[in-house]
Structure 1
Amino acid sequence: MAETFGFCTRVGAAGEVKQRTWGNDFGDGYEQSGGTGINGKSEEWAHQAAGSLGAGHELRQIRDFLDRHEGYKSFLWTSPSGMSGRWKVNGYKLDPQGAGLFKISFTMKQAFTPY
């Protein structure tokens, strides 16, 4: 059973919707193009959270959640646009803020395979 990401984070100002396409430019102004795959549209959302990495603190729980999924295992989440489904995070950035506090930054990418 997949885990659900239920932590409070500061979602970036905007998510990004990507559409998978192909195209051939014939050099005379004519271009042939189309969509690829059955999941031709996907979303990505940037997140940030700040706090302590001490035992029991939410920031540590977020980091441990991301580490548990190892960059390739998907989890459940609902985006601000209402897209419920599976998502992956491949890596994150820890930024020391001083006084034992850190900021974590990561991007959730929509996934279509249940790892």
Structure 2
Amino acid sequence: MAETFGFCTRLGATGDIKQRVWENDFGDGYAQSGGTGINTKSQEWSHQAVGSLDVGQELRLMRDFLDRHEGWRSFLWTPPGGTQGRYKVNGYKLDPQGAEMFKISFTMKQVFTPY
């Protein structure tokens, strides 16, 4: 069973909703287009969070969650205003902020798996 990402990230997370389509332009103003595959819409969400990496702290737990999934294992997450789906995070950026505080930045990419 997949784990669920339930951590709070900063307000201002941004989503990029993509549509997968094909298009054939005939050059005379006429074009044909359509969707590709059975999952024509996918999402990517950029996140940031700030906190301490001390044991038991929220930011440490979030980083450990991402490390545990190793960039290739999917997990469950519900985007703002959306429905729960499967997502992956392949790497993250960790920036020291001073006073033992860090900022983590990462992008969640929606993936599809058969059930």
Q: TM-score, normalised by structure 1?
A: 0.91
Separation in 2, partners of 1:12, 1:67: 23
Label 1:45 to 1:12 Cα distance change in 2 as closer, same or farther (>3 A): farther
Q: Conserved in 2, the CA contact under 8 Å of 1:11 and 1:45?
A: no
Separation in 1, partners of 2:19, 2:11: 21
Match of 1:86 in 2: 86
Separation in 2, partners of 1:100, 1:4: 28
Cα displacement (A) at 1:73: 0.6
Where structure 2 has 5 or more consecutive residues not aligned to the other structure, the ranges are none
Structure 1 segment 1-115 matched on structure 2, within 5 A: 1-113=1-113
Q: Conserved in 1, the CA contact under 8 Å of 2:51 and 2:102?
A: yes
Identity across matched positions, percent: 77
Q: TM-score, normalised by structure 2?
A: 0.91
Cα displacement (A) at 1:11: 4.5
Please provide the CA RMSD for this pair. 1.4
Separation in 2, partners of 1:45, 1:11: 12
Q: Conserved in 1, the CA contact under 8 Å of 2:21 and 2:36?
A: yes
Where structure 1 has 5 or more consecutive residues not aligned to the other structure, the ranges are none
Q: How many residues of Structure 1 are paired with residues of Structure 2 in the alignment?
A: 114
